[in-house]
Structure formats: structure tokens, C-alpha cells
Structure 1
């Protein structure tokens, strides 16, 4: 019997240049992530992100990743850079999310199985806890997702072309990869991007 679950969306995060952005789009990525966290090796400025975004084709989600910024700062950066979604990659509550004018994707940095239910009912990204706020290649235990509805969860943390297929059975809304498709920090490997997306979406992607 064919699998009736929708194909997970794919986000390629940590985009720092137009070549990597276009490689991801051409391979079939649904979303591109831009890191506005100054301490990240994948950091881009608002102006740098805007220069990339203005050259993208239509229908590609542009996601800005933010750490320790106020709602006003997030909204302003998203408006100036052309982001369509704000990924809030630090601990916030519902009042913070409601204060945003930009559509938000809260991030749960999970330390324990019960953490994956934080923001239950919302679309959310679940990543392994890391002091450096992501991109460290640390994997989550997939057993934490046994028996729960993952249809509003984007899974991140240590995913690669070689292991992402293990996650597909859980019915995640999407998967997010950064370091797993890099040749060096901040520089993507087009072949690994294609392999990752093909592993998620099948060999029809990128034709």
C-alpha cells in the first residue's frame, strides 16, 4: 500500500552566498535559511541576505534565524532583508511570538524527551540542545518522537544525506540541514545538497 503521508519539506540553512542558494533551489529545496546571529560562522548581515534574496526565483521560503533579538528587531531585519519567516532560535514564550508581526517558527532546543512537546499545536522546529545555538551536527534521539504527532514539527540536528531517511517514518512536516551538506563552515557542497534532497523527496527532485 503506498505511503499517503505528504513529502517532508526541506530547508537548507546557513546560506551565505548566491551560488549556494541557487544550488539548493535548483535541487528542490523548499526553504533557505539565513543566520542573523553574529557569533555563528554562517552569519550574514541584513544587507548580504537581501542581496541574495533579491536574485532568488519566486515561491522559495526565506527564513531568518534570530538569537536574543527583540520582536521589533526581528520584524525590522525581516522586512529589510526580504525574509518570509522568522526562526526564533532561543527560549521565548507565547507573548513574544504574539508580539511579532512576522510569521514565526519557534525553535525547541530539546534536552529531554518531554521537550519535543513544547509549543504543541504550533508549527515548530525541534533541534538538539547546543550552547552555540545550532549548526553543531548534534543528533536527537528519534525514539523521543515515538507515538506523537510530528506533522507540525521540523526536525533539525545532525541530519545528513546518509541518515535523513531514518527520520522519514515519523511523518515530520519538514527537515532542516546545515552542517550536514557543507564542504566547509559556511560553504555548501552542491552534491551533498542534491543527495540530501533526493533522500527526502526521491530521485525526481532536481530534474
Structure 2
């Protein structure tokens, strides 16, 4: 039976792609088919093939199904700025109606595990007053929350979890990604998150010298997610 999840984060640059690629790798190790989508991405580099985003390429590299880059990342923008601002600069209407069919096409491939990764935090704006969270709502996907563990992460995680619940979606699990290993009282912070987040912890990813999908997968508990 195929499963699909929306990957959200407590902020930008906290390891959503690192964790998503690790989950996909763990699924492949179990012999499961995988697919992914990162419908919108900023900070893309121009290549001979067009604009390419490093995070989208990392996800594509862990997809066992044959997907084109444009299927994984249909909306790519060069500036490293908020997606709605980047879209405005090039005259692109970036809303749920534009994003939805692209993601649905990937979901329709029926991989055993499909991950749809957002951009930034939960309320990243789109055009027309919408947010990227509205895409998750339209898809009705359960959410995996990547918590960037550093000072302030408890507040960010709990507020994001509240917003997810308020939007009517299920928090399927969360991953502690230790972006600041010098975080004071690290274990106590993680214990507080475990007490207050009403979802299983899918893993604690330490700061790795090389955060390859294989290395990250070793710290993730896919069984808690898929059974």
C-alpha cells in the first residue's frame, strides 16, 4: 500500500531535505519504491538543462521511480529569497491551483513512499494570500515535521504543530535534526519536545560530518512511520 507525507520544517535551513532524503533512502533499503516532489524552490543555479535546485536534485537522487527533474521541481527560481517574491519578479502566479496538478501527478505514480517537501516553514506565502500550507491541506497529506534543534526550537515546533492541527491535518511524526550540537540542555529540550508533540519521534539526527542520505537513514525509524 502506498503512503505519502508532506515534509514541513520549523524554519528554513533546518534540514528538511536532509531528513526527507534519509527517509527515502531508508525506504529503498527496505525494498520499497520511492518518489518525491519539491514543487517550489528558490536559490536555483542555472545549468545547461535549466534552473536546478540542490535540494530537489537530492530528492530526485533518492527516487526509485523514473522521474524527470521538472516533475520533482516544476517551479524553480534563481534568487535565494521567499518563493512568492521570486515568482513575482518573473511574473509567475504561484498559487495552490498552479502547484496542485504537478504534485498530484507524482502521487499518482503510486510509489510505496512519496514525500512532498515544502519550502521554509509552515506559513511560507504564495501569491493571492495563500500559503504553502494550503497545498498540504489541498492534498490532505499527513505531515512529518523536521525540528531544527537549536535555541528556540521548542517554541517553533509547538507553534508549527498547533498550526498543522488547526489546518485539520495529522502530524504523523517528527524528526529532531540537531543543527546546533552546542545547544544547551540538548537532552532536556528533546525530552520536552517528546512530551508535548502528539506524534512519534522518527529519529534524532546528530550533526554529521557528511549528511549523506545513507548516513541520515541510519538515525531514522521508518517502522514507526510505515509500520
TM-score higher than 0.5 here?
no
Structure with greater contact order relative to length (CA < 8 Å, sep ≥ 6): 2
Which structure has more helix as a fraction of its residues? 2
Q: TM-score, normalised by structure 1?
A: 0.41
Q: TM-score, normalised by structure 2?
A: 0.38
